[in-house]
Amino acid sequence: MFTLNDEELALSEAVDRFARERLAPAMPAFLRDHLFPADLVSEFGRLGYLGTAYDPDYGGAGLGTRGAAIVAEVLARIEPSFAAIYLCNSAPTSLIARFGSHELKSEWLTAVCEGRMIGSFGVTEPHGGSDVANIRTRAVRDGGDWVLNGSKIFSTNGGTSLHGFSSIVAVTDPDKGPKGLTCFVVPVGTPGFSVGKPSRKIGWRFADSVELYLENVRIPDRHRVGEEGDGLKQILSVLSIGRILVAATGLGLARRAIDLAKAHGRDRKLFGKSILAQPGLAFPLADILTKIHAAELMVRHSATLVDEGRPFRNETSKTKLFASELAVEAALKAIQVHGGYGVFEEFPVSGLLGEAKVLEIVEGTSEIQRMVIARELLD
């Protein structure tokens, strides 16, 4: 369970090669100007990496959540913002892959696996935050169609040149509360479906996050994902899987932080010896190395549970909580190793804290994860 098989090792090496040879040289310009790297994302998709997790019948590689976690971790060790684009495409695509009809998969899942487009997730609303059961976006039947009205926020990948669709959750039966939610696929270009402008963020700096607007958006019933009323169950499942990819991104970011700390600190002297030999820095870094090992085991275990069809929700919450908070801790310590240099934008380590902090918030905040985990105390 905890060691990579030959296919997974080959995947890790291939993604690492792409990240070092193609991403690393280009990233500074995109980060500086907060520009979505469309050509690189398109190239990444054409190589098949967007379809790593999915069914080969629809163009995927069939490597499941374990494979997807490997991709996210390797990307984050080179550039966490690019890993964010990957993991945020995973949620809307996984919704279709897990719950969509053959027709939806053939059209939209195949398009993602072939690298022709990416998707965005439309769940969070301005008033609701983490309370997905309090969604206000409405979908009303009109003959063989649905008409959607509402808005979503923080939809990463929306509005980019590769944005092909958004997965939208809406209320279809207000009288049923959380059981009255249904998910839909809304193609970009559908009349009434529009996207706001991205705002600059402290992390995920070129992974555009936008507001989605739905004004009398009419879509056919075949764009409904699964059964009417299954939306909440579907969202919770997809978000739980997404937490593994957030954790894998946090793991990769923590490793990047250690890489940068070692590269900077190895040749810097303090009181006659390397600063990495000073207990005040060496011991906290040793703790981070230990936690990196633990996070790696947690990510692989949680991903294996998903791929084997075993219960996974609590384990993914623990994994996401641990790895995202580790990412923040590692970023802070790597900046400290750099001393005054750590706060200057010319040094890559300066951007890690913002990138790490986002991970504590997306796919359910740390507080939400603790709420989920704490329920075990009442079982």
Active site members: 363
The three-point CA angle 294-297-300 to 5° equals 150
Nearby residues of 218 by Cβ (< 8 Å), 6 or more positions away: 142, 145, 146, 147, 148, 190, 191, 192
Q: Which helix (H) or strand (E) holds 167?
A: strand 163-171
Pairing assessment for the beta strands 145-156 and 209-220 based on DSSP bridges: antiparallel
Question: What number of helices (H) and strands (E) belong to the chain?
Answer: 12, 10
d(C-alpha 305, C-alpha 298), whole Å: 11
3 state SS of 150: strand
**Would you state the structure tokens that stand for residue 107, as one six-digit string?**
């059209």
**CA contacts within 13 A on the Cβ side of 195:** 27
Q: Give the DSSP H/E element, type plus range, for residue 215.
A: strand 209-220
Q: Tokens in use for 304?
A: 């294996």
Do the Cβ atoms of 368 and 320 come closer than 8 Å? no
Query: Are 320 and 361 contacting, i.e. CB atoms less than 8 angstroms apart?
Result: no
Tokens at 41, concatenated: 């994302």
